[in-house]
Chain A
Amino acid sequence: MVILYGLGSILIAFMVGILFAGISRKVKARIHWRYGPPLYQPLIDIVKLFHQESVSHGFIFDFGIFFSLTGAIVTLFFIPIGYIVPLHESGGLLVVLYLMLIAPFGIALSSVEAANPNASIGISRKFILALGYEIPFLLILLSVMTYYGTISFVEIVEMQRESTWGIISMPITGIAFLLILPAMMGLKPFDLIGAPQEISSGPEVEYGGIYLAMSKIQHIFLIFINIALFVSLFLGGGAEPLTFFLKMLPVFFIILIMSTIYPRFRIEQAFRFCVRWPTILAFLGLLLVVWR
């Protein structure tokens, strides 16, 4: 049963993620006054990448990327997608917090086994940005866990279903989370990690074929996980996988529109942004929760 649920959540996350990637290309194209590729283009890309030649730089180059994808998928198992939650009693949100580390950490190990300075620069940017958004993110998670008095993901969702949604009881915290979501997903104002024009796609520079495919799949899961986190913590999750998906859609559109209209930050700007407004809001939110 657990294995079936596991496969189910992988499948749902993959399909939803691919759909989001397709939608985002389409919407961006419409905003740019273009037609854009068909919705299923990202899927075609991935299938195509499986058949392309690639190079490997050694054991850690392979292992890192496996590890990264594994980290993303195992994180997924902790997220209650409707009633589908394969690993619910194994440490709760604190484990999710740590598992979310594995995906970037695996990429960081893998990509720099090649002696390519572009990859190193990209990873250094990734970690600086990660520190930037983790400060508000931790404050947000702590607000939520303190408010509901539990570290269990499933219980937080159930408590919201019984009373009101998190966004209503903790509006400031929710807004702070929305502000850092693009940074967590590596979308437009914060796409400095793999900036193609500056550092040849950064960490992905040495990836081709199957490696690039895995990196893309990992990124698709990451987008799903981050939006799912917002939906579960602030929009009350969903009783069914379908309602869960319906709640994810508007959040995704808000982020998509935010990301389409802004140009890219430099790394120090991105860091300063993250530790300024979202952090102040998240801190206020935590103060309110503690004083309540």
Chain B
Amino acid sequence: MLLPYTLITAFTGAFFVYLSGKISEKLRNFLGFVVSLALLILVSLMYTKIGISHTYFSFLNYPLVLRVDWLSWFFGIAIVSINIFAVIFSFSDMKDKKRLDLFYLLMFLVNAGMLGVVLSGDLISFYIYWEIMSWSTFLLISFREEGFSAGLKYIILSIIGSFSMLVGMIILYSQLGTFDIAIIVEQMDMLSNGFAFSILILFGIAFGIKNALMPLHTWLPDSYTETESPFTAVISGMLTRMGMYGFLLILFVVMGVNRYILLAGGKYSFVLSWLGAITIIMGTFIALLQNDAKKLLAWHGIGQGGYMILGIAYGTAFSVAGGIFHTLNHAIYIVLLYFSVGAVEYRTGTRNLNNLGGLIKKMPVAFLGGLLGISGLIGIPLTNGFVSKWLIYKSLILNRSPFLAFAALIGTWGTILSVYKFLHNIFLGQLPLKYSNVKKAPFSMQFPIIVFSTAIILFGVLPGIPLGIVEKIMGKMGFKSLGVNIWGIASGTGSLNTLNIFFAILLVILGVYILYKIGFKSKRVLQEDTYAAGHYIPRDKYAYTTEFYAPLFDIIKPIFREWVSIFIEKLTGFGNNLSDRIRRIYVGDLGTYVLYIVLFLAFLIVSRWSIW
């Protein structure tokens, strides 16, 4: 009974939070926290009951089933953990904003929808929860007036994806006569290769849109930028990755890895891998050109999504493990980064990278979050992002796909440039005078930042904790064992030992510290007390933030443009033009219309004559 109770808590909780908001603000916040905590506990309890399923309703003789396996638990626990911290973060971030009851209602509905998606054991439930999730997301993206067009973009693409998925479901039903995923898995052998391929393409469109795989990514940058920070954390951390869940479900649970790899001569795997690789490169390098902190991170969200897709599309044990693990890691650091930006925006009122700077002394916790977040995003050793990327690279190199590996690796170097600009322009360099009285972020913002920072280091030094669950997921999908240890991977073809690296770094940094203590003691001076070769550096005048990589931008700007958006804009422009021309036929003058009729009759007569 655990499964239906979880969903009942999620859905009724959303409405109770909404109603309590009508009574008092404090009650709503308290209830919101209680509901998220209850969900966290309920999903954690499922750990002991992996494998159960429960038929909760019968719809036109089709049983609707809930079930939990390792894959859904993995995603479920991530969803509820991110939700609880997003709710905590929102207490101060959203304090003085309007229509808050609606905000919390939608936030909990999105959460409930996502839980429903990962827990549903048949395609009808899957589709229903998927739609609840998409529509509440649409309302949340267009929550602020500025976000309306972004929301519209999102929902149009989302509807395209939903219909594509629906067609796929109907094909499956027409061939196999069931919606139950467990039965579909058993009967998959009966499906011919042609149908299997078309299903993969149809579901691939739906999940590719959700996971912002190029060229279906156009909804993402605006949506991430225009939403409120707590919800940006949810949408970037987990909601976008529902696409990953879908891909994993359809490729490895339903289809099975052996069949997927060989399908259509491996073309599906090949195309999906390369789309992932292109997404990595374009996403990260377009991110480099952004000046809005949230937009920069949004483009990284696209790029990192490329790593996950590349990992699972490549289809070897290591790369799939890397893809799954990267989903979790990405969720952790991107949520942390959005919290950090949210805190800065809350205190300074801007997130424009050209106007900020030097906030490190003013907001140390937000800086810590930013620093660890970008370290994870780059994948510096001992942060979580490193292990998952290592798995993907290793698998690509050892299976002789160096060009895919190059795309993935060069993406990392593009990431370094842009996230360093992000960190530098917000926290380092010169502090503009107008921010000299900025206060620290409130505790309800600092607490989530500290928790997620800890998670980055913990999963970086001891990657075995989450990788153990990833290995169980992989075992269910029929992969061979990875050789996961608490400190990393022990396999014949090159193992990874993060604990070794950790202790090496610890010892060396201790040695360096002793060396520092031996030397002449340094004197603390103010940030502005600097040397400029005899010149005077006036405050507030020489902040080197705008066009941080100007010489590089001139070179790469013509290449890394939003080609897909440009194409769509051209297309809509062409359509507008064409319609405009057609409209001009109707001048509204009776004489002209008579002339049209005469001309048309003349045309008919002439054409008839010519035929004869």
Interface residues of A (CB under 8 A from B): 3, 6, 49-58, 60, 62, 66-67, 69-70, 73-74, 77, 86-87, 89-92, 94-95, 97-99, 101-102, 105, 108-109, 112-118, 120-121, 123-124, 127-128, 130-131, 134-135, 138-139, 142-143, 145-146, 149-152, 200, 205-206, 209-211, 213-214, 266-268, 271-272, 286, 289-290
New contact pairs (9) apart from A70-B505, A205-B530, A268-B551, CB-CB < 8 Å? A53-B520, A58-B524, A74-B504, A101-B380, A108-B424, A130-B416, A131-B416, A138-B406, A206-B531
Which residues of B are found within 8 Å of A53, using beta-carbon distances?
Answer: 520, 522-523
Could you tell me if A115 and B527 are in contact, using CB atoms closer than 8 angstroms? yes
Residues of A within 8 A of B423 (CB): 109
Task: Return the CB mask of B390-423 against A: 1 if under 8 Å, else 0.
Answer: 1001100110101101100110011011001001
Contact of A89 among B378, B381, B428, B495 (CB under 8 A): B495
Q: Per a CB cutoff under 8 Å, which of A70, A94, A115 touches B508?
A: A70
Which parts of B493-543 form the interface with A (CB within 8 Å)?
A: 493-498, 500-501, 504-505, 507-509, 512-513, 515-516, 518-520, 522-533, 537, 539, 542-543
- The answer to whether the Cβ of B554 comes within 8 Å of any Cβ in the partner chain is yes
Residue B54 interfacial (CB < 8 Å): no
Residues of A within 8 A of B515 (CB): 214
Interchain CA distance A77-B551 in the complex, whole Å:
36
Q: Which of B496, B501, B524, B528 contacts A115 (CB 8 A)?
A: B528
B431 within 8 A of partner (CB): yes
**Contact of A131 with B402 in the complex, beta carbons under 8 Å:** no
- Are A6's CB and B552's CB within 8 A? no
B549 near A127: Cβ-Cβ < 8 Å = yes
- Do A98 and B520 touch (CB < 8 A)? no
Report which of A99, A115, A121, A151 forms a contact with B397, defined as CB distance below 8 A. Answer: A151
A264 to chain B, nearest CB (A): 14
Does the CB pair A109–B416 fall under 8 Å?
Answer: no
Q: Which residues of B contact A87 (CB under 8 A)?
A: 500-501, 504
Q: Confirm or deny: B358 has a beta carbon within 8 angstroms of a beta carbon on chain A.
A: yes
A80 to B145, CA, bound (A): 60
With known contacts A66-B513, A131-B417, A145–B380 Cβ distance under 8 A: no
Contact A271 B496 (CB under 8 A): no
- Return chain A residues, CB-CB under 8 Å to B417: 127-128, 131
| Distance from B487 Cβ to chain A, minimum over Cβ atoms (Å) | 9
**CB of A216, distance to nearest CB on chain B (Å):** 12
A171 CB → nearest B CB, Å = 18
Give CA–CA (A86, B504) in the complex, Å: 10
Question: A209: which of B390, B522, B532 is its contact (CB, 8 Å)?
Answer: B522
Determine the residue in chain A with the shortest Cβ distance to B527: A115
Query: Which of A50, A120, A200 contacts B520 (CB under 8 A)?
Result: A50
Q: Does B429 contact A (CB under 8 A)?
A: yes
Residue from A91, A205, A214, A266 in contact with B516 in the complex, judged by beta carbons closer than 8 Å:
A214
Q: What B residues does A52 contact at CB under 8 A?
A: 520
Bound-state Cα–Cα, A74 to B417, Å = 23
Q: List 11 A-B contacts (CB under 8 A).
A: A66-B509, A89-B497, A90-B500, A99-B381, A105-B380, A121-B544, A130-B413, A138-B413, A143-B402, A145-B402, A268-B555
B413: A residues at CB distance < 8 A: 130-131, 134-135, 138
